[in-house]
Amino acid sequence: MKTSQRENIALITGANAGIGLELARKLLSENWQVVALNRSDFSTEDMEIQRAIKNGSLRIYKTKDLADYTSLRRTLGEMKEKEQRIDILFNNAGRSFHELSYSKQGRESHFELMTVVPYIILMELKELLQNGHFKTVINTSSSAIQFVKEFTLETLERPKTFRKLLGPYATSKLALSLWTEAIAPQLAKNGIHIRSVDPGGNNTLRKGRKSGLPIWLEPLMKFFYAPPTHGASQLYEGALGKYRNKTGVFLQKDRVTGLKFSDQARNVLERVHVIYEHEFLETQSLIS
């Protein structure tokens, strides 16, 4: 399907479930084109989604694992060949792991998936963003970052202890928001706005997957948290709402909110950039 220059295009990572899926639905209902970067398939029983796939308004790019650089590199390369532009990039993919684990690159899994990978995706797709109408990046953060009490690069990559939700998950989301703040002036030179957004409390529990939540929180989430449509609306407003001309900010409950450990923002940005240049790009050049 050939995309009209007047149609808006959003890329959503992790669009097949939870908040990402509801965001995809919302944008499709408003006649957006949605590009999905997923690890898993959409449900074949979801007729609305299947119609969008069939008519080409929802285009899917799959990767074995977002934190697997070989697979991610191949998928992003395919996307750059086929897509003409991206108006809004929603770096939304993420998960809360139930135990301490490490990526193929040897870094803690939350940090790799939710701090480093969004930076790689942004850098690789920056040219498509510059071709877009809105030139906007929204990084999905979390209210859990408010509970981080200690923060160093060393503990981000190789923590000595593990705590569900308020451990590596929270510090990795904080690191994401910190590099978002630090990179904003640089991206502004290319006309790109970037923000991190807390989608609020959402019931994103999935059957058949071990939860990375503390055991006491699961029943609360099941019965008292909002459905993922709430988080989707928060991300949507973060992209297109009253702060659309702000850059580098962290949005929580529709307000600009200060970040803890902001003195570490530049250090986080430098670290993820080094990983991108010396692991993602150098490995790419060796392969080619």
Choose between 225 and 109: higher pLDDT.
109
Above 70 in pLDDT, residue 239? yes
Strands (E) in the chain, as ranges, are 9-13, 33-38, 58-62, 88-91, 136-140, 193-197, 250-252, 255-257
What's the confidence (pLDDT) of residue 282?
Answer: 79
Structure tokens at 248: 């580098």
- Residue 42 region, left (φ>0) first, then alpha (ψ -120 to 50), else beta? beta
- Cα(55)–Cα(180) distance, integer angstroms: 35
- Residue 126 tokens read as 């920056």
Q: Per-residue pLDDT averaged across 16-24, rounded? A: 96
Q: How far apart are the first and last CA of the chain?
A: 30
Query: How does strand 250-252 pair with strand 193-197?
Result: parallel
Cα dihedral: 9, 11, 15, 19 (round 10):
-90
37 pLDDT higher than 80: yes
Assign 271 to helix, strand or coil.
helix
Residue 184 pLDDT exceeds 90:
yes
% pLDDT > 90, the chain: 84
With beta carbons less than 8 A apart as the criterion, state whether 205 and 189 touch: no
pLDDT of 253 strictly over 90: yes
Q: Is the dihedral of CA 196, 217, 15, 65 positive or negative?
A: positive
Domain 9-287 matching CATH 3.40.50.720: the answer reads: yes
